[in-house]
Amino acid sequence: MNLQTAWQKQEETVKRLKKERPELIISQKQRREEDVFNEVGILNMPQNRPLAYLRLFFEDFIVEEITADNKIVRVNEIGNNNHERGEKEKTLYAHLIKMGLTTNAAVEKVAQELEFSGAIGYAGLKDDKAITAQLIAMRKGRLSIEEIEKKEMQNIILTNFYFGKDNIRPGYLKGNLFTITARTKDEVNEGELAIKLENIGKYGILNYYQSQRFGGVRLDSHKIGKLIMRGNYELAIRYLLFKTNEYEMPLIKELKNQAEKIYPDWPEIIKLFEKLPYSFMYELKAANFLKNHPKDYIGALREIKDSITMCLYAYSSLLFNKYLSEYSASRGCIDEEFPLLISSDSSDSLIYKKYLAEDGTENFLKNLLPLKITYLARRKVRGRIFPENIGFKIFPAGAVISFSLPKGAYATTFLANIFELYEDEPIPEWVKDTEIDAKELLGQGNLKEIKEKFKDKWHVKIF
């Protein structure tokens, strides 16, 4: 089952159960921001911030890619196609605008609909609980621009086609422009917000990795990564398959608990996980492998290498956050860059020596060798970043804020310097559901055309 099919099947199940048995779908408890920060190593944040809820609707969170040549791929610029093609221009570029889909699922859907056998290039992964726009590159396609334009894909727009050379590599972008609708508990003080944003532009913010890096609501990616780096491969697999928490969708908790009780009956475990094939896509891959190769836990981890690689990087990000918190508290931080743990230079791990000893992960490089999935490259990350293109407008129930960040930086890290953030379920009673055209409010055009194209999901609550 491909990602798109899994997503559609799960969406139908969730939609039905939300009507028939909402207690299985709607979580009744939400993590406090403070608890999330403590879990992921974020210790130095401003105090006494006003409360704000993010992502009530998909249109509340807009992400527009800034390409490597500093062009913005906008969600509200549609239909600017260029059909001219040079003799050596074999790559068809397009703007991919999506709503409520991961980049991987959207690209898979595009390849399927266009009967495209070649690789589709893109620079980075964009949020699924959002409207996003990014550049993609397609080589060896057989359909013309005119034929592609006639294709209708749910929650996806392909537009602004042009031909060129080469392809797009992962990381081939400058950053992202964010337009965020923050729905606040109390009316926003315009003067105070203006001062906060001015200070952020002037002094920057600490470049923490945010909860999305650590598994979102599950908040477990770094824990799985730590188990792998300890060499506890079976425990890592069992954690992935069965560990849950009180903040997840109740149905996910129920299915995981049922699966753990019948471990290692892999055929029955697979049947349970197939009820939510999108949420459990990696669990299903691992379980199907173990059905045919019992107790080969290293092989199961290799089978889900994309997920496991993210878990390893999540643990590396946790240590970065911890180090940045301590460093900035004692010495401040302006222009410094710090290496990540997973590196081709073994000396990069020295700054994390204390944390490795505490976690029992000192031999992480040795324990990664059997997996054969991690490419070791040296990478340094800035301790402080300086957001640009900051603008805002307030409305009676909150504020719309726009800003750009370099690649790899998190919008929620920026926003957490202004608000105490709430996301996911349960939705606080104080959240107002006013429809906001964020682009129009900021004087950046409007969202009318994209609203019409995404009308089935427009202003429909995500949760």
Q: ω before 387 within 30° of 0 (cis)?
A: no
Q: With 80 as the cut, is the pLDDT of residue 375 above it?
A: no
pLDDT at residue 7 in the model: 86
- Res. 374 pLDDT band, cuts 50 70 90: low
DSSP 441: H
Q: DSSP states of 38-98 as a string?
A: HHTT-----SSPPEEE--SBGGGEEEEEEETTS-B--TT----------TT--EEEEEEEE
Burial 189-223 (b: 16+ CB within 10 A, else e): eeeebeebbeebeeebbbbbbbbbbbbbbbbbbbb
Instruction: Determine the Cα–Cα distance for residues 211 and 321; give it in Å rounded to an integer.
Output: 11
- Res. 345 pLDDT band, cuts 50 70 90: very high
pLDDT at residue 298 in the model: 97
Q: With 90 as the cut, is the pLDDT of residue 371 above it?
A: yes
Q: With 70 as the cut, is the pLDDT of residue 40 above it?
A: yes
- Res. 353 pLDDT band, cuts 50 70 90: very high
- Res. 430 pLDDT band, cuts 50 70 90: very high
Cα–Cα–Cα angle for 277, 463, 15, rounded to 5 degrees: 50
Residue 338 one-letter amino acid: F
What rounded mean pLDDT belongs to the chain?
Answer: 94
Q: With 80 as the cut, is the pLDDT of residue 373 above it?
A: no
Q: With 90 as the cut, is the pLDDT of residue 256 above it?
A: yes
Q: What is the mean pLDDT of residues 428-435?
A: 96
- Res. 144 pLDDT band, cuts 50 70 90: confident
Tokens of 405: 């960040």
pLDDT at residue 9 in the model: 93
Q: With 80 as the cut, is the pLDDT of residue 114 above it?
A: yes
- Res. 261 pLDDT band, cuts 50 70 90: very high
- Res. 16 pLDDT band, cuts 50 70 90: very high
pLDDT tens-place string over residues 217-255 = 899 999 999 999 999 999 999 999 999 999 999 999 999
Q: With 90 as the cut, is the pLDDT of residue 118 above it?
A: no
Please count the other Cβ atoms lying within 10 Å of the Cβ belonging to residue 294.
Answer: 11
In sequence order, the 6+-apart residues with CB closer than 8 A to the CB of 18 are 25, 26
- Res. 13 pLDDT band, cuts 50 70 90: very high
Please count the other Cβ atoms lying within 10 Å of the Cβ belonging to residue 452.
Answer: 9
Q: Which domains does the chain have, with CATH numbers?
A: 1-30+206-385 (no CATH), 50-204+388-463 (3.30.2350.20)
Q: What is the mean pLDDT of residues 272-289?
A: 97
Q: What is the mean pLDDT of residues 85-113?
A: 90
Instruction: Determine the Cα–Cα distance for residues 79 and 83; give it in Å rounded to an integer.
Output: 12
- Res. 83 pLDDT band, cuts 50 70 90: confident
Q: With 70 as the cut, is the pLDDT of residue 134 above it?
A: yes
